[in-house]
Structure 1
Amino acid sequence: MAFQRVPFLDIFKDASGGNIKTPNNEFLDEGDIPVVDQGQNLVAGYVNDKSKACKSSPPVIVFGDHTRAIKYVDFEFAMGADGTKVLVPKIEADLKYLFHALKNIDLPSAGYSRHYKFLKETEIPLPLLAEQRRIAAILDAADALRAKRREAIAQLDAFLQSTFIEMFGDPATNPKGWETRSLGEILKVRSGDGLTAKEMAPGGLFSVYGGNGINGYHDRYMFEEPKIILGRVGVYCGAIHLTKPRSWVTDNALYVRELLLPIDTLYLVEALKAANLNQYASQAAQPLISGGRIYPVRISLPPLDLQRRFAAIVESVEKQKARMQAHLAELDALFASLQHRAFNGEL
C-alpha cells in the first residue's frame, strides 16, 4: 500500500515559543513537574513552579535540536533550556504514529550544531488514521520488548553498583576507613583524537568511542588494550566507559593513559562512576571536564585482593550482559525491519 508523503511543516507546528525554559542548574532531584530537555533521558529533573509548565496540552513530541533526541511526552512537563523543541500536530493524526515516523528519519549529524533545520525539510508517509493507529500499536508492542530487555540490563548495572557499596561502603563517607588517594596520584588522563563523522567507516571493524560510549566505527584503532574513558564535554560530561580492545577515542572523551599506583581496572571503573565526576565540570553553557578539574577528587583504595574479588564479579555480570545485549540486538533488528515495512506500506 503506497502512502502519500506529506511535508513536515504541513503536519507539525513548533509550539516552543511562549514557554519558560528551565536551565540545568535549576533542576531539582524531586518536584511537582518533570523537566523534559534535549538529553537522552525522558525526564532530566524537576521543578515546583507551576508557571514553568509547558502551555501545550499533552501528548506532544519533544525534539532535541542539538542531540536529535525525539521523545513522546504524555504528561505535564516543563521545558529544558537550550535546544528543546515542542512539536504538536496541525492536522488530525495519531501522535504515536507520528512519533515513530520521526524516529524512523535518518537525520544527518551536525555535531553540536542545530538539527531542526534538517527536520523541517523532511516528509512523512501518512496513511489513513485507522492505519496509523494499527502501525503505532505494532511498533509500540515491539518497542516494549526492547524496553524490557534494556531494563534487565540496567538491573545488572544496578546489581554491580549495590555490590560495590556492600563490599567497599559509600565512597562519599568511606565508612570502612579505606586508604584514600587523589585521582592525580592514581592516574593521568589525556584527550582523545578528533574524528569527524565523515572520517568514520560504517563498515569498520573497530569501535569509535565518544563521551556517550560507542558512536561509530573506523578501519583503524588507537589502542590495542581497553581504555577507561570519561566524557569530556557537553551532556555526557563525566560519563565513564571501558572501551573494547582495539578502539578509537575521540576528543569528546578523556582516556586514562597511565596508572601511577597498583589498582584493578574494573574496580577503578566503578569507583570513578561512584565519584560522580560530572559535578566537577565547568558551569559554562558547554560543560567541560579536564584533568585539572578531577585530579583533586579522592577515591578509596581497598586492598588489591578485595578489588580483584569485585573484578571477578564484574566479569561474571558482564558475560550475562553480553548475552542480553545480543538478544537486544536481535530485537533491535526486528524493530528496524518492522519500521522499514511500516513506513513503506508493507506492514
Structure 2
Amino acid sequence: MMKWKKVRLTDISKLKQWKNLPISELSTEGFPVYGANGIIGRYKEYNHQFPTLAITCRGATCGTINSTEPKSYITSNAMALDNISEDVDQKFLYYALNRRGFKDVITGAAQPQITREGLSKIVLDIPESKEYQLHIANLLSKAENLIAQRKESIRLLDEFLKSTFLEMFGEVSCNKKKFDKVELKYFGEIITGNTPSRKNPDNYSSNFIEWIKTDNITSDNTYVIKAVECLSERGLKNARTASSGSLLVACIAGSIESVGRAALTDRTVSFNQQINAIQPNKDVEPLYLYWLFKISKKYIQNHASKGMKKILTKGEFEKIKMIKPPLELQTKFARIVEKTEALKEQYKQSLQELENLYGCLSQKAFHGEMCINKKVRRKF
C-alpha cells in the first residue's frame, strides 16, 4: 500500500516575495515577468533560472498558481516557492496545491491577499515515493493537455465563424460591401424589459416564466442561459416578454464591457429593465443578428452614454445603424453557423467528459488508489 506523509509547505519550500518592478520598466522584449495575473510583460533581467511555482498573493486572482517559464522574473505580487525539497516533485506539488486551494488562507475583503504567514499553515499529504508523485503529475498533465486541446478546438470554431462573417459581410463601421445600413428599429420590434415590484412577493411566487437578467447573457453562449429566478402569472402582467428567436441585449451595466453583450432566446422569456430585446422581422435571420452584435460589440458600445453607469436607452438603441444584407445571404451564413455549432456542441460534450475524467483521476490519485504498472514502466 502506498505510504503518505503530512508535510508543511514551509518545510518543503522557501516562500519568498521578490522585488517588484515599476510598470515603466516593463517592455515587450526580454525575459517574462510574472505578477498577479501571470505574465505581465518582459524585463532585461530574470530572478529565476528554472521553472518555479508562483502563487498569486494579491488581487482578484489571489490563489492562482503559475508554473513559470525558465529564466523568468517573479514580482512581489506572487509568492515564489523556491528551493523545493529534492524528495518532492514540483509538478506534483502544483497539482496538490491546486487541489487543496487557498480559500482558507486568503485575507482582506477590499484587497484579497495571501501572506507568508497564511501559507505557513498549509499542510499537504504527499506520497513518500517520488516515483508515485511523478506518476500522478504525468497522468494529470496528460489529461490537462487534452482538456486544453479541446478548449482550443472550440475557440477555433468561434474564430472560423468570426472570419466567415467578416468575409461575407465585412466590418459594420466601414461597410465596404455597400449593404443597406439601417437603424435597428427596422430590424424588428424593440422592447425594453421591466422589473415587477419586489414589494409584492406574489410577483415571484411561482415558476410560471423565466425572468432573464444580464447575468444570463454570457459571451460564450449563443442562447441565454437558464434563469435562476422566475415570475408568477401575476408578475408577468407587469413584465415584458420576448419569444423564441429574439435577441436580448444588455443595455445598462456598471462596466462598458458588458454593454452590447447579446444572446438569442430559444423559448419565450421575460426580462428586466437592463435589457432591450429585438424580435426580428421576417427579413432578418436571428443567427445573423446574433453574430452581427457579437462582431460589432465595440461599435455598439460607442453609442452608449458616458458616465458612472453605461447606458443605451431605447431611443439611442433604436437609432444605431447596422448593415442589413439580403435575407438569402443571411440565411446562407445561418446554415454555416448551425453546422459549426453542432460540431461545437460535440466538442463541448467531449470537453465535459474529459473534465469529469480529470476529476476522477485526481480523486483516485490523491486517495492513493492508483497503481503504477511496473512492467509497462520498464518497457518504456
Q: TM-score, normalised by structure 2?
A: 0.62
Contact 1:209 1:247 in 2 (8 A): no
After superposition, the C-alpha distances for 1:235-269 in whole angstroms (9 at most, x for unaligned) are 97579563776899999xx9643228755443233
Structure 2: give runs of 5+ residues left out of the alignment.
196-209, 232-240, 303-307, 371-380
CA pair 279-309 structure 1, distance change in 2 beyond 3 A: closer
SS of residue matched to 2:133: helix
Amino acid at match of 1:144: N
- Residue 355 (structure 2) pairs with residue 332 (structure 1): yes
CA pair 318-261 structure 1, distance change in 2 beyond 3 A: closer
Amino acid at match of 1:97: F
Give the Cα separation in 2 of the matches to 1:155 and 1:147.
12
Contact 1:164 1:310 in 2 (8 A): yes
Superposed displacement of residue 179, structure 1:
3.7
Q: How does 1:10-89 map to 2 (within 5 A)?
A: 10-11=11-12, 15-20=16-21, 22=23, 32=30, 38=36, 46-47=41-42, 50-51=43-44, 55-64=47-56, 65-67=59-61, 68-76=63-71, 84-89=77-82
Amino acid at match of 1:59: P
SS of residue matched to 1:104: helix
Superposed displacement of residue 324, structure 1:
1.2
Q: C-alpha root-mean-square deviation of aligned residues, in Å?
A: 5.1
CA pair 242-276 structure 1, distance change in 2 beyond 3 A: closer
Give the Cα separation in 1 of the matches to 2:80 and 2:299.
30
Aligned to 1:145: 146
Contact 2:183 2:322 in 1 (8 A): yes
CA pair 321-9 structure 1, distance change in 2 beyond 3 A: same
Contact 1:19 1:55 in 2 (8 A): no
CA pair 152-139 structure 1, distance change in 2 beyond 3 A: same
Amino acid at match of 1:321: K
CA pair 326-261 structure 1, distance change in 2 beyond 3 A: closer
Superposed displacement of residue 35, structure 1:
5.8
CA pair 7-60 structure 1, distance change in 2 beyond 3 A: same
Aligned to 1:197: none
From 276, 290, 297, give the equivalent of 1:257: 276
SS of residue matched to 1:258: strand
Once the two structures are overlaid, the 10-residue window that deviates more, 136-145 or 267-276, is 267-276
Superposed displacement of residue 229, structure 1:
5.8
SS of residue matched to 1:317: helix
Aligned to 1:270: 291
- Residue 99 (structure 2) pairs with residue 104 (structure 1): yes
Superposed displacement of residue 330, structure 1:
0.8
Contact 1:19 1:54 in 2 (8 A): no
Contact 1:237 1:289 in 2 (8 A): no
CA pair 91-37 structure 1, distance change in 2 beyond 3 A: closer
Once the two structures are overlaid, the 10-residue window that deviates more, 154-163 or 307-316, is 307-316
CA pair 237-75 structure 1, distance change in 2 beyond 3 A: farther
User: What is the aligned residue count?
Assistant: 317
SS of residue matched to 2:100: coil
After superposition, the C-alpha distances for 1:190-210 in whole angstroms (9 at most, x for unaligned) are 899xxxxxxxxxxxx999747
Contact 2:211 2:269 in 1 (8 A): yes
Give the Cα separation in 2 of the matches to 1:191 and 1:46.
45
Give the Cα separation in 1 of the matches to 2:362 and 2:268.
31
State the identity as a percent: 22
Q: TM-score, normalised by structure 1?
A: 0.67
Contact 1:20 1:54 in 2 (8 A): no
From 333, 337, 340, give the equivalent of 1:310: 333
Superposed displacement of residue 185, structure 1:
9.0
Structure 1: give runs of 5+ residues left out of the alignment.
193-204, 282-287
Q: How does 1:155-304 map to 2 (within 5 A)?
A: 155-180=156-181, 209=216, 220-221=229-230, 228=248, 240=261, 242=263, 256-259=275-278, 262=281, 263-275=284-296, 277=298, 290-292=310-312, 299-304=322-327
Aligned to 2:127: 127
